[in-house]
Structure formats: C-alpha cells, structure tokens
Amino acid sequence: MVAEEGAEYEQEFFKKLDKELNKVDKFYRSKVEEVMAEAETLTNQMHALIAFRIKVDKLQENFDVSGSNDKIMVSMNALQGTTESDNDAKQSSNCCQEIQEENPKKVMSSIRLAPQEVLNHVKLNEAIQAPFSAAKVYRASNTNETQMNFSKDNLKKIQNQLKQAFIEFYYKLRLLKNYSFLNVLAFSKIMKKYDKITSRRASKYYMRTVDDSYIGNSDEVTKLMERVEATFIKHFSNSNRSKGMNQLRPKSKKERHSTSFGTGFFAGCTAALILALVLIIHARNILDKEGRVQYMESMFPVYSLFGFMVLHMLMHAGNIYFWRRYRVNYSFIFGFKQGTELGFREVLFLSFGLATLALISVVSNLDMEMDPKTGDYKALTELLPLSLLLLVIIVLLCPFNILYRSSRFFLLRTLFRCICAPLYKVKFQDFYLADQFTSEVQAFRSVEYYICHYGWGDFKLRQNTCKSNDIFNTFYFIVAVVPYWSRLLQCVRRFHDEKDPMQGYNGLKYFLTIVALCTRTAYGLDRGTSWKAVAWTFSAMAALYGTYWDLVVDWGLLQRRSKNRWLRDRLLIPYKSVYFGAMVLNVLLRFAWLQTVLDLSLSLHRETLIAIVASLEINRRGIWNFFRLENEHLNNVGKFRAFKSVPLPFYNDEDEDRID
C-alpha cells in the first residue's frame, strides 16, 4: 500500500523483517549441515565400536551370532534413518549386505570379516586423554605401532567416551530444535503485534513465507533426534528407554528446602558463635593475658586456615548468585554434568557449616593459662583443629554418595590434573582452579605449619621451633611457589598445544610472580637492604604486569574504541560504575604486598597482618572470578559456542594429522 501515509515505514519494517528471517534461516541451515556431517561421523564411530566389541567377544570366546547381528544392524541403520523393515531397500554397508544373505555360512564368514574390514581403517585415539600423549604419539609414529589392544577395559573406555559424545550431540540437536521453535514463534508474535497496530491481517500471509522457509519446514533435526534416541537406548542403556532418556534429557536440579533450612541454621550458628567469641574475649580480658602472644604465634595460624577456606567459599557462593542473575552459563564453561552443579545455597550451606565447626573449636580452645597440675594445656582441645582438618579431608575423599559426591569428585579430578601439569591437556576448569590456589598461598603455608606444629612441636605446651627451622623455612618457599609453578606449566602446555604466543606471555607473568614471591619471603625471613631492593623491583614488575593482564586480557576491559569507552562492547551488568570500581579495587589489592617491604608499623601482630593481607587477596580473586567468567561467557556467545566438543575414540588413517 505505497500510496497510503506511512507506507515507507512499513516498507522499511518488512525489509528488516526479511533480513532477520534470512539471517536466522541461513544460520540454521549451516548448523543443520554441521550436525548432519557430525551424524555421519558418529555413524562411522558406531561401526568401529561394534567391530571392536565383536573382536573383544571373539577373543573372549563369547561370540554370539544372532546378538551380534542385531547389534550391527541397529548401529548401521539407526543414524541413517533405516529400519528393520526396509533394510532390503537401503543398505548402509557391504557388511549389512552380506549379513542379509540367506546362507548361514556366508553370514558367519561376513561377520568374522566385518570387524577386520572396519578396524583396518581406524585407530584408537588413546592419546587424547593420556598424560604422556605426546610421547605416545611420537613412539607410535616411529615404531609403526598400529595394533589396538582388544581388551574389556579398552572397550569400556570407548563406550563411555562415545556415550558422552552422543549425549553432547543430542544436546546440540535440542538446542537447534529450540532455536527453530523460538524464532518461528518470534516472527509470529511480531506479526500479531503488527496486525494489532495496523488493523490488518498480514500475519497470515507472512507466516506462510516463514513456514515455507528452511527453518520453518525442515524436519532433519527432529528425525535425527529420533535416530539418536534409538541408537543410544539400544547400545548405551541396555534397551531401557526410561534410563536412556534420563541420560539424554537430564532433569534440572530442584532446590531442596532442607538445604535452605541448613544454610539458615548454620548461618545463625556462625553469627551467634562470633558474638559469643567477642563477649568471651571481653569478659575474660583475654587481650591483656600473658599467654596471648604465645596464642597468636602458635594457635592463630592453625585456625586462620579455616578462615581462608570459608572466605573463599563465601566469595564463590556470591559469584554463583550473580552469574545466575546475569545469566552467565557457568555450568557449561566449567564443564559440569547437567543437574550436578552446585548453586549458591549449597555452597553457603558448606561454608557456614565449616565456619560453625571452626568457631566451636576456637571457643573451646580459647585458653590462655596452663593447667597448674600438669603444666600444659588440655590435649583434647588442642587437637580440635587437627581433628577438624582431618574431617574436611575425609569428607572430601569420601566415596559414598553424601555431601555432593559428583562435585567433590569433579574437584578432585581437576586438582589431580593441576598437580600433573603439564602432562594433561589444559581445560578451563584446570587453570581456573590453579588460579584459585595462587590466591591461597597463606592457606598452604598454614597446612605446612600444621605438620610442623603437631608433628615436631609440643602442641600441649603450644611450643615449636618451626620458624627457626631451616627445613621449615625451605618448604616455606616451596609451598608458596607450587601453585604458581603449576600455573606456569599449564601455560607451557597450552603454548605447545595451541601455538598461541599469548600463553607464553601469560607464563612470563607467573614466572615474575614466582621470583617476586621468593624475594619477598626471603626479605621477610632476613630483613636485609639487598633483599629489600630486589623484592621491590620484582614485586612491582609482577604487580604491574598482573594488573594489566587482569584488566585487558582476562576481563577484556580498557578498550579505547569500544561503544562503552574503556570497557567492552557488550556488558552484562547495566551499571558501568561497577566495572570501573572493580578495576580500581583490583589495582589497590594487587599492591597489598607493599606492607611487606615498607615495614609499616600498624600496631598489629605479624600473624594478624598476614591474615588480613591474605584475606584481601582472596577478595580480589573473588572479584576477578566474576568478570573472568563474564568475559568467557561473552566470548562463547559471540562465537556461538553452546556445547562441548567431546573427543571421539576412533579416527581414520587419513585423519591422523588432525589429532590434538
């Protein structure tokens, strides 16, 4: 209706609407082509799996002809859209053609040849998860090692790996189906709004165009989902449909009232115990007792460990809350199994529970005077902190399904990979955890003090010679360096795998931090002028380098040509002042080490000052965590990354050069 008033605006409206339809249609088509190609790859993987399984069964002398025939037929046809009724019309491979022969002898011979034919063109991709992957690949290439180990253990690993690949592939299909549905629904809503405003009936005609487009009428994804379900249920859930669908479509985690109640209960206990502790110190006038200095020297480092742990957990709980509020997909970034990730309530529950136990121990052990009869302190109360530490370790390692076992095991696996750096390929959760440990240096030193205090000191008298012991001082350096050394090795491994020079620059940052930490520790133990100058130099270099890396690389800020000047083009938090405040706070907390080399007289005990500085670093790390994941999430959104890539167990001979 060009002649009507405002027609040019309507033309512009429909031009933009057509542009958006073409954009989403083109994107959807490209993604469908990708999943179809991936479906073909998974089909080949299933061929190899069935061949491998038959080979293992044959070697175990448990080969069953009819059962193996059924397994082969389903695996060959499930992803290609065939069924048992139309196998004569669509035969996926020569193996299937031979199996359909009526002569049993031909069937038997074909089954025996099929595994060999398939396995002659594939190899086991064992190097992906192996710690010495580079060495294995090099050895295999030099010795022509192509033989596969046909064992039950290998078969189990292959099945688990391929099972995970199917789960991720099905999740990708669900996302694509939701993408199609939501976009068609969006166009429908837009046109209904248009009809309401203009009093026309254009939606009926325009929606025909939408329905005729690829995103509106394509059913490849739906059919592929049905085939994946059939294959997965048959081969990975023992034909149990409910079990298979629960794995393919895990239910979202429900919030428990018991968790909320427990969190509130322990939070109240923590507040009450802190108040009781303050009142006891004031009522007993403990700060003026003679034993207070000895208490600060021997017992305060013992209890400060739990303070660092609780503070870090509280910061993590706060981060989870804000990640959820601003829709940061932290579960995908960390690689959590869907439905097992902890919410902020669960982390608060653990935090306040540990804080309650630690404060009970502190109140019970708040004695400044020795027993006049025995001449020492009560052994039972002196052992309370050690007992609590052992309890934390036991709960962490407990194999029973209590207190979030999947999360505890995820933490242990990630910790193991951090310890074994650079033997394993580095994932996001690996270097993220290693970064957390770099902010818990004082906590590691507290663990070292536990060993010295209870192992070589006289804990009943609260006496030890830890700080004057050369071995203790040596490990005082080593313990502090270990987290940074692990992080440095991770950077080396990523530089080797990704050939990214930024990883080399990141490794240089941790090297400078190691040198700065060692020089500051040396100056703290031996306050000489030479150590002070060296500590000043390397600490300043490390702090400036680390601050730049935090703000520019990890947070993606300080971009001059951004829409949001000095920030990013895209921000999740609507208040820009939050970003500028976080940047200023990061700089200030980065330079908290100045108190070490400036010899500030703050009328505080040395252990108290150390605990305050360590707490400030934990707070800085907590702030860093939020913006680091925000930046990672926005990068994923910009590159359309919404699912994990799972390494496949087999690869073809021609694909050997593509192994990571």
Q: Yes or no: say if 130 and 136 are a contact pair by the CB < 8 Å rule.
A: yes
pTM of the shown model:
0.84
- What is the pLDDT confidence band of residue 83, given thresholds at 50, 70 and 90? very low
- Rounded Cα–Cα distance for residues 211 and 551 (Å): 47
Question: Does 4 map to a domain?
Answer: yes
Residue 99 is assigned to a structural domain of this protein: no
Note whether 220 and 314 are same-domain residues: no
Higher pLDDT pick, 272 / 382: 272
> How does DSSP classify residue 646?
P
- Please tell me whether residue 458 adopts helix, strand or coil conformation: strand
Per-residue pLDDT tens for 230-246? Answer: 999 999 998 899 999 99
Output the six-digit token pair for 59: 């070697």
210: CB partners within 8 A, 6+ apart: 21, 184, 187, 188, 216
Q: Which of 231, 250, 269 is the last residue of a domain?
A: 250
Counting the structural domains of the chain, the total is 2
3-state class percentages of the chain: helix first, strand second, coil last, to nearest 5:
75, 0, 25
State the average pLDDT over residues 598-614: 80
Q: What are the beta bridge partners of residue 650?
A: 124
Say whether both 283 and 334 belong to one domain. Answer: yes
Looking at residue 450, its pLDDT comes to: 94
Sign of CA dihedral 463, 467, 470, 476: positive
Whether residue 585 sits in one domain with residue 499: yes
Reported as a single tens digit per residue, the pLDDT across 131-163 is 544 445 445 444 433 456 778 888 888 899 999
pLDDT of 460 reads 83
Give me the helices (H) in 102-217, please. 104-119, 133-143, 152-198, 203-212, 214-217
pLDDT in tens, 556-588: 999 988 999 899 999 999 999 999 999 999 999
Inter-residue contact 171 to 179 (CB < 8 Å): no
Band (2; pLDDT cuts 50, 70, 90): low
Between CA 328 and CA 347 the distance in angstroms is 18
Cα-Cα-Cα-Cα dihedral sign, residues 600, 546, 429, 347: positive
> How many other CB atoms are found less than 10 A from the CB of residue 200?
14
Is the distance from CB of 111 to CB of 99 less than 8 angstroms? yes
Whether residues 269 and 231 share a domain: the answer is: no
205 and 290 assigned to the same domain: no
C-alpha 655: how far from chain center: 29
| DSSP per-residue string spanning 498-545 | H--HHHHHHHHHHHHHHHHHHHHHHHHHS--HHHHHHHHHHHHHHHHH
| Residue partners of 339: CB distance under 8 A and separation at least 6 | 250, 251, 252, 253
pLDDT (mean) for 208-220: 92
Is 380 inside any structural domain? yes
Q: Are 310 and 244 contained in the same domain?
A: no
The answer on 525 and 605 residing in a single domain is: yes
Residue 392 confidence (pLDDT) above 80: yes
Looking at the predicted structure, is the pLDDT value of residue 110 above 50?
no
Same structural domain, 264 and 214: no
Higher pLDDT: 226 or 652? It is 226
Output the pLDDT for position 89.
35
Position 100 pLDDT exceeds 80: no
Q: Is residue 77 part of a domain?
A: no
Whether 396 contacts 298, CB under 8 Å: no
pLDDT at 147: 55
**pLDDT score of 272 more than 80:** yes
The pLDDT of residue 441 = 93
Across 287-296, 600-609, 621-630, the highest mean pLDDT is recorded for 621-630
- Predicted confidence at residue 377, as pLDDT, reads 77
User: For the segment 505-516, what is each residue's pLDDT rounded down to a tens digit?
Assistant: 999 999 999 999
- Rounded distance, CA 385 to CA 377, Å? 14
How confident is the model at residue 411, as a pLDDT?
96
Residue 656 included in any domain = no
pLDDT at 60 over 80: no
Q: In the predicted model, what is the mean pLDDT of the chain?
A: 84
Are the C-beta atoms of residues 355 and 270 closer than 8 Å to each other? yes
Where does 299-404 have alpha helices with state H? Answer: 300-325, 330-334, 344-364, 379-382, 384-397
Whether 226 shows a pLDDT value over 90: the answer reads yes
Q: What percent of the chain has pLDDT over 90?
A: 53
In this structure, are strands 650-652 and 122-124 parallel, antiparallel, or unpaired?
Answer: antiparallel
Same domain? For 472 and 536 the reply is: yes
Task: Identify whether 144 is part of a domain.
Answer: no
Cis peptide before 422 (omega within 30 of 0): yes
The range of the structural domain enclosing residue 7 comes to: 1-62+118-125+149-250
End position of a domain, from candidates 216, 250, 284: 250
Distance CA(454)–CA(464), nearest Å, equals 9
463 pLDDT tier (thresholds 50, 70, 90): confident
Q: Which residues touch 490 (CB under 8 Å, ≥6 apart)?
A: 418, 421, 422, 426, 430, 431, 434
Residues 400 and 317 in one domain: yes
Q: Find, among 231, 252, 419, the residue nearest to 337 by Cα.
A: 252
Region 281-305: mean pLDDT is 87
Rounded-to-integer distance, Cα 225 and Cα 110, Å? 31
CB 547, CB 587: distance < 8 Å: yes
**Token pair belonging to 326:** 């601003």
pLDDT, residue 601, reads 60
The predicted pLDDT at position 5 comes to: 64
Same-domain pairing of 460 and 554: yes
Q: Which of 36-40, 100-104, 300-304 comes out lowest in average pLDDT?
A: 100-104
pLDDT band at 631 (very low <50, low <70, confident <90, very high): very high
Number of neighbours of residue 462 by Cβ within 10 angstroms = 20
Q: Is residue 295 scored above 90 in pLDDT?
A: no
Q: Is residue 578 part of a domain?
A: yes
In whole angstroms, what is the distance from residue 202 CA to residue 311 CA?
59
Is 96 inside a domain boundary? no
CA distance linking residue 128 with residue 165, whole number of Å: 14
* One domain for residues 157 and 266: no
Domain's final residue, options 218, 250, 282: 250
